[in-house]
A = this chain, B = another copy of it.
Amino acid sequence: MSRARAIGCDGGGSGARLALVWDGLRHEVCGGPANVTSDFAGAVAEVSGLLHRAAQLAGVSLEDLRGVPAHFALAGVVDERVATRVAAALPLEGVVEEDRRAAVRGALGERPGHVAGIGTGSYLARQGPDGFETIGGHGLVLGDEASGAWMGRALLKAVLAVEDGVEPATALTRQIAEEMGGVSGIVAFAAEAGPSDFAALAPRLLDAKTDSAARHIIVAGADYIARGLLALGWKEGGAICLIGGIGGKYADFLPTQMQKALVGAEGSALDGALALAMEQDG
C-alpha cells in the first residue's frame, strides 16, 4: 500500500509539523500554530510555508509536489465546509480533515482499536472494520471530560466546596486555596481563565494521587473514558491506546480488563497523516 512519495501534515493549536516522503526519504519540518478555526489565514500560511520548506529540503520545487498524495490533519476543521475552504486555499491538492483520524492512525498503526486522546482537551475514537468514529470533546463548557482543563476546573470546584464547608479539606485543596487567595482569588481566576489556564493545574492534581480530592477527580475522568470506550464498542481484548499529554496518567485508573488491553502508541499524528496519505490510492 505504501508508496515512495507522500505528504503528511499535523497542524494544531500549539504547532504544526509536516513530513514529505520523496523517493523513500523522509523530510520533516515544523512551525507555528495551525488552527483553521481560530486563525484561518494564519493556518493556511503556516501550512503553505511548511510545504515550501519541505520541498527545499528534498531539493525539489513546490510544482514538483503536484500530484503527490497529501493528508492535511488540521485542528479546527469542524465540518466539510471548512475542509473545502482550506483545501481551496492551500497551494497543493490533498485531503483536509480534522486531526483526530491521523492521531488515531498514528497511534494504532493499521490495527483496529480504540484511542483516548487526552490533553488540554479530550476525545475518544475507534478505528477498525466498522470505520472510524469519534465521540467526546465538544469544548470545556459542555464537555472535554477527563481532559487537563476539565481536571483543573474540577480541582478549583473542589476547593470552593471545601471553602464553603460542603466537603472536607485535603492537603491539596488547602495548598491551592492558599496559593490562589481563597474563594475570591479562585473566582477571579476562573472569570478570566481559558482551557489552557485550567489545564496548567492538572499536573498538581496528577502528582497527588493519594489525595482524596485529586483521586476523586481522576477516578471520575477514568470512568468517563471507560464509559465512552464501551459506547464506541470496545470489547474485552480490543486494543486501547492512551495518547495526548496526560492520556497515560489514566492507565492505572481504568477497569482491569481495559488496563490489560492497553498498548503503546506506534507513532505520532504526523506518522498517521503520512500513512493516510500513502493509503489514499491504496
Contacts and interface: CB of A to CB of B under 8 A. Distances in A.
Interface of A: 78-79, 135-136, 138-139, 141-143, 153, 156-157, 160, 164-166, 183-184, 186-187, 190-191, 193, 227-228, 231-232
B142 A160 contact: yes
B79 A165 contact: no
A209 B79 CA distance: 36
A190 B139 contact: yes
A182 B141 CA distance: 16
A136 B153 contact: no
Contacts of A141: 153, 190-191, 193
B156 A142 contact: yes
A232 B165 contact: yes
A165 B133 CA distance: 11
Report copies per complex.
Answer: 2
A155 to B, nearest CB: 10
A187 to B, nearest CB: 5
A79 B181 CA distance: 14
B138 A187 contact: yes
Given A141-B190, A142-B187, 6 more contacts: A138-B183, A139-B190, A139-B191, A143-B160, A164-B231, A166-B227
A228 B136 CA distance: 31
B184 A160 contact: no
A264 to B, nearest CB: 26
26 contacts: A78-B184, A79-B184, A135-B164, A135-B165, A135-B166, A136-B164, A138-B160, A138-B187, A139-B187, A139-B190, A141-B153, A141-B191, A141-B193, A142-B153, A142-B156, A142-B157, A142-B160, A142-B187, A142-B190, A143-B160, A164-B228, A164-B231, A165-B231, A165-B232, A166-B227, A166-B228
A79 B187 CA distance: 13
Contacts of A165: 135, 231-232
A193 B141 CA distance: 10
Given A79-B184, A138-B187, A143 B166 contact: no
A231 B187 contact: no
Contacts of A79: 184
Contacts of A143: 157, 160
A193 B157 CA distance: 21
A138 B160 CA distance: 8
A157 B139 CA distance: 11
Nearest to A165: B231
Contacts of A166: 135, 227-228, 231
